[in-house]
Amino acid sequence: MDFGQFLYMRHEIILSALALIVLIMEISSDKKSKANIIPVLVALFFINTVAGFLPVETGSLFGGMYKTTALIILMKNILNAGVLIVFIQSAGWLKSNFTGNDNIGGYFFIVISSLIGMDFMISAGNFLMFYIGLELATIPLAALVASEKLKERSAEAGVKLILSAALSSGILLYGLSLLYGTNGSLYFDNIASSFQNNSLQVLAFIFIFTGIAFKISIVPFHLWTADVYEGAPVNITSFLSVISKASAVFILIILLFTVFRGIEGIWNSVLYFTSVLTMTIGNLFAIRQKNIKRFLAFSSIAQAGFIPLGIIGGSALGFSSVVYFVLIYLFSNLGAFGVVAAITNKTGKESIDEYNGLYSTNKGLSLVMMLSLFSLAGIPPVAGFFGKFFLFTSAAKQGYYLLVFIALINATVSLYYYLLVVKAMFINKNDVPIETIKNDGYTKLGLIICTIGIIAIGFAGIIFDYINSLTFGIK
Amino acid sequence: MDILTLLLIVPVLTVIAIIISRTQNQIRMSAAVGMGIQLIQTVNLIFAYLAERRNGNIDDMLFVKSWMWFKSFNIQFSIGVDGISVALIALTGIVIFTGVLTSWKVDNLSKEFFISLIVLTTGVFGFFISLDLFTMFLFFELAVIPMYLLIGVWGSGPKEYAAMKLTLMLMGASALLLLGILGLYVNSSAAPGGLMTFNIIELSKLNIPIEVQRIFFPMLFIGFGVLGALFPFHTWSPDGHSSAPTAVSMLHAGVLMKMGGYGCLRVAMFLMPDAANEMGWIFIVLTSISVVYGAFGAIVQKDLKYINAYSSVSHCGLVLFAILMSDKISTNGAVLQMISHGLMTALFFALIGMIYERTHTRDIRFMGGLMKVIPFLAVGYMIAGLASLGLPGLSGFVAEMNIFVGAFQHADTFHRIATVVVCSSIVITAVYILRVVATLLLGPVKNNDFNLIKDAIWFERATVVILIIAIAGIGMAPMWLSDFISNSLNPIINKLSMIK
């Protein structure tokens, strides 16, 4: 065996090395120098993100257990970029909350482990590998969610996450066992080619879909989302709502387009109904939220409801639209969470009412928040408009006009509650607005990256065309 | 740099200039200079257009440029103009320049105010020069969304309610619009699996099956119609216009509502002529109601802005009505009406804003005799009123004359009755205009405080004079504008009349 082939796993290898470096730094540094871990890690992770874009050969390893394609590498790069922003945004929070004996390195180690799990999951060619990756991605998150030890809600959120994750993996495993029972293999290629479309296999698909739907918080598997998002520290919430969700979307679409291609008719109708439910319920609940984190939780549920519009019908163009949408969603949501984190970590204020008059004291934060929310709502000229437009176009091309119509109505409803926050910041008067927050360099950098992403990705037609060139030939 | 791209670049540069300005004076000077250049550009565009036509260029669209934007979807950034869009661009140039002048005294967050205002204008200019439905839709939404902040932050009265209502109704309309656009796009490939297109010129050469048109024509027409205050979707307009700050009311009633009429003509009617012919009667009924209902609504209102907002509903209903008649004379009248109403309503709202600043009320019951204290503004108001009720020599007459003559060309009973009903609005308009003019301007000065108020100052005079010159110019020399427009109407009318 040629050891050069291991370079197919370049992303995972570099991440593992990073995880080890964090551990060594954590052990070898004393209390005072612990804060140095942050800049070093951010710098190293930046190098990792850039290195991810270097051209690399693609192929499969371990007899097909693990495989990469240019598209999968792009997905990993998107996740890397997201995690980089999360790292930058959480620097301030780490400095203020992880003092003394708390280990900053632990935070980085856990996030990187989770990311390694996601990378393996996306690259899986076999359901065992997929399952291991999934668990590696999920379990560390519970520790992160519960990491604010002194807060009850944080611990409660951690328990809720681990319980729902355990339940969903149970369901998923049951689906896998059914699939193995009916096919005699766990390799994606074997299953795809021997799919007989019998009812047991359809049941297996439903279970597997359910398991992944928990991760994306598709209605009716969304009930854990708001509580966990609210209880977790904001920076962890942004990781959960963006990176974790994006990776699950990626693996879902890969599975649907390869393994379950044989029952396209069935997953089309499953996606149709879950999509309508997810958009509508996410939106209706988001309107009523008073807490900004719960608000963003339901908004992210509603956003997830738009994703099936690209998957449905199973076209290559739809696939590209989903990847593009996720890329834009990542920047927009991280922008919004970045602002929330900056405010919550400094002042502890989380209620939307407390955002009243924010513009009078914090111009920059309000503007970034407004752009992010407009991007989430799909308003031009920010990128969200393009992401949504392409999803709608792909669905319309497949003939799902009614679904597009429902989605458009939902987009209008979502505009209403996004505007409520904009209204709070710009229009509502407040005698005691949130005081002017002096952001450190990290927070500013994080927000600037998000803003550039939100503005530039939409206009750069070349990005979409690049993604589309990678999906060429699917189907 | 070509002439149309500059129309988008100048506003962007103006926004940058405003961002880096420091003092209030710098901010409003950069806005005024930027929009002044824009106004010069639009005038220049008219002459460039005429020169091109004189040189024998008979293409439907001139100055066409296309850049591939999203290759995978065949989305292009495609721009070009014909007589209709040139006329509307000129209108936009005048209204935004005068709008900036009337906002000279905005001192609450003036930087943000002018930025929003100019972003909105960029959307309008972009909309009128777009030849690609994707970019057209993008600019449409870009023109609507700053309105939320403009009304919400700088408005008056129930501004939050009005801003939200306006934004949601227009965005809801844009949802219908998008669905219609996607319907066109998906059915645009000549053969199954062929390349689809958003390009209006290419779409107009296709024969889209009537079954498809039946589904998507109403969506497109209503989608644009909401912006053109089509009954029963007009309710955003009175609330929005009355709560908005002066310049925003001017732009909204003067220009944004014209985007609705232009879209109905250029997209809905032009690209789906069969369905327009077949289903037009539904919308003729609705627009007739708009015209008459708007006029009656204006009679009972007491707030000056509400009166003018309802009058806008009536006049814009007339635009849509004329477009639906799909006769060459009436459609010509529709475009003239768009220009005429745009100028006239901008003048109205500008004057109402100026009067309100002085009297601190917009309720006509408490006002009277303004002619004695502020003669300049009062005369301006009277001219606007006379243009609105269609006095010969001013722009309103030419437009309405064309519309009614054109509409009467239809020989069947339905069109005749509709035309007669709509004609009755002339009388009702006269009633509410004369009533306002009489109570507001004539008679004794009702309130002693009014004796102290001062007449217009330089920037207010400039606004009023520019708009009155434009209104009178069209009224005196209508054929010039009319020729200009009517050649460009030929492709649309030919397509509509081929069906009959």
Residues A432-451: pLDDT tens digits? 777 888 878 888 888 999 99
Residue type, B66: S
Beta bridge pairs of residue B67:
B77
Cα angle value A211/A214/A218 (rounded, 5°) = 120
- Residue B71: what pLDDT? 82
Test B175 with A409 for CB contact under 8 angstroms: yes
Cβ partners under 8 Å of residue B125, min gap 6? B7, B8, B11, B38, B89, B92, B139
Residue with the bigger pLDDT between A396 and B59: it is: A396
- List the single residue in A390, A392, A419 with the smallest CB-CB distance to B164: A419
Q: What is the mean pLDDT of chain B?
A: 85
Suggest the residue from B73, B116, B156 to mutate for an interface test with chain A (most A CBs closer than 10 A): B73
- Residue B127: what pLDDT? 92
Interval B447-451 mean pLDDT: 74
- Residue B412: what pLDDT? 84
- Residue A112: what pLDDT? 92
- Residue A172: what pLDDT? 92
Question: What percentage of chain A reaches a pLDDT higher than 70?
Answer: 97
- Closest CA of chain A from B402, distance in Å: 38
Question: What percentage of chain B reaches a pLDDT higher than 70?
Answer: 98
Least confident of A103-107, A243-247, A310-314: A103-107
- Residue B424: what pLDDT? 86
- Name the helix (H) or strand (E) containing A67: strand A66-67
Summary count for chain A: helices (H), strands (E): 21, 2
Interface residue B8 vs chain A (CB under 8 A) = no
**Which DSSP symbol is given to B253?**
I
**Are A125 and A64 within 8 A, CB to CB?**
yes
Minimum Cα–Cα distance from A357: chain B residue: B153
From chain A residues 391-410, the ones with a CB under 8 A of any chain B CB are 392-393, 396-397, 399, 401, 404-405, 408-409
Interface residue A246 vs chain B (CB under 8 A) = no
**Are A442 and A376 within 8 A, CB to CB?**
no
Residues B158-191: pLDDT tens digits? 888 888 888 888 888 888 999 999 888 888 876 6
Residue A117 has pLDDT above 90, yes or no: yes
CA distance B114 to A220: 46
Residue A41 has pLDDT above 60, yes or no: yes
- Residue A210: what pLDDT? 92
CA distance B301 to B294: 11
Residue A101 has pLDDT above 60, yes or no: no
Residues A164-205: pLDDT tens digits? 889 999 999 999 998 888 888 888 888 888 777 788 888 988
Interval A347-368 mean pLDDT: 85
For residues B32-69, one letter each, b for 16 or more C-beta atoms within 10 angstroms of the residue's C-beta and e for the rest, the string is: bebbbbbbebbeebbebbeeebeeeeeebbbbeeeeeb
CA distance A255 to A125: 10
**Encoding tokens for residue A247?**
């990776």
- Name the helix (H) or strand (E) containing B79: strand B75-81
Interval B131-149 mean pLDDT: 89
- Residue B499: what pLDDT? 56
Interval A38-58 mean pLDDT: 84
CA distance B57 to B51: 9
**Are A9 and A62 within 8 A, CB to CB?**
no
Minimum Cα–Cα distance from A367: chain B residue: B112
Suggest the residue from B72, B130, B161, B167 to mutate for an interface test with chain A (most A CBs closer than 10 A): B72
- Residue B192: what pLDDT? 65
CA distance B78 to B135: 8
Residue B454 has pLDDT above 90, yes or no: no
- Residue A116: what pLDDT? 92
Least confident of A80-84, B203-207, B351-355, B450-454: B450-454
- List the single residue in A381, A389, A465 with the smallest CB-CB distance to B72: A465
Interface residue B212 vs chain A (CB under 8 A) = no
- List the single residue in A390, A404, A423 with the smallest CB-CB distance to B73: A390
Report ipTM for this prediction.
Answer: 0.89
Helix axis angle for A383-397 and A401-426, nearest 10°, is 170
**Are B185 and B133 within 8 A, CB to CB?**
yes
Residue B193 has pLDDT above 70, yes or no: no
The per-residue DSSP string of B399-458 comes to HHHHHHHHHTT--SHHHHHHHHHHHHHHHHHHHHHHHHIIIIISSS---GGGGG-----H
CA distance A108 to B372: 77
Residues B249-285: pLDDT tens digits? 888 888 888 898 899 888 888 888 888 888 888 888 8
Interval A27-41 mean pLDDT: 79
Q: A57, A52, A129, A104: which is closest to A83 by C-alpha?
A: A52
Residue B59 has pLDDT above 90, yes or no: no
CA distance B273 to A437: 58
Residue A475 has pLDDT above 60, yes or no: no
User: Can you tell me whether residue A65 is helix, strand or coil?
Assistant: coil
CA distance B182 to A396: 7
Residue B13 has pLDDT above 70, yes or no: yes
Interval A294-316 mean pLDDT: 89
CA distance B126 to B122: 6
Q: A286, A463, A452, A447: which is closest to A387 by C-alpha?
A: A463
Minimum Cα–Cα distance from B156: chain A residue: A427
Interval B240-248 mean pLDDT: 85
Least confident of A169-183, B68-82, B437-451: B437-451
Least confident of A6-10, B117-121, B223-227: A6-10
- List the single residue in A405, A461, A464 with the smallest CB-CB distance to B179: A405
CA distance A229 to A293: 6
Interface residue A323 vs chain B (CB under 8 A) = no
Cβ partners under 8 Å of residue B343, min gap 6? B91, B94, B95, B254, B387, B395, B467, B470, B471, B474
**Are B339 and B91 within 8 A, CB to CB?**
yes
Residue B200 has pLDDT above 80, yes or no: yes
Summary count for chain B: helices (H), strands (E): 21, 2
Q: A433, A232, A434: which is closest to A337 by C-alpha?
A: A232
Test B72 with A468 for CB contact under 8 angstroms: yes
- Residue A363: what pLDDT? 85
**Are B85 and B129 within 8 A, CB to CB?**
yes
Find how far residue A231's CA is from the centre of its chain: 18
For β-strands A66-67 and B75-81, DSSP reports them as unpaired
- Residue A201: what pLDDT? 86
CA distance A455 to A331: 10
- Side-chain half-sphere of A302: how many Cα atoms within 13 Å? 31
Q: B353, B361, B384, B355: which is closest to B99 by C-alpha?
A: B353
Residues B483-493: pLDDT tens digits? 778 778 877 87
- Residue A102: what pLDDT? 64
- Closest CA of chain B from A102, distance in Å: 44
Cα angle value B242/B122/B322 (rounded, 5°) = 60
**Which DSSP symbol is given to A351?**
B
Minimum Cα–Cα distance from A467: chain B residue: B72
Residue B205 has pLDDT above 70, yes or no: yes
The per-residue DSSP string of B341-353 comes to HHHHHHHHHHHHH
**Is the bond into A220 cis (omega within 30 degrees of 0)?**
yes
Q: What is the mean pLDDT of chain A?
A: 86
Interface residue A363 vs chain B (CB under 8 A) = no
- Name the helix (H) or strand (E) containing A195: none
**Is the bond into A433 cis (omega within 30 degrees of 0)?**
no
Interval B142-155 mean pLDDT: 87
CA distance A239 to A245: 9
Interface residue B432 vs chain A (CB under 8 A) = no
Find how far residue B296's CA is from the centre of its chain: 21
Interval A258-269 mean pLDDT: 85
Residues B311-343: pLDDT tens digits? 888 888 889 888 888 888 888 888 888 888 888
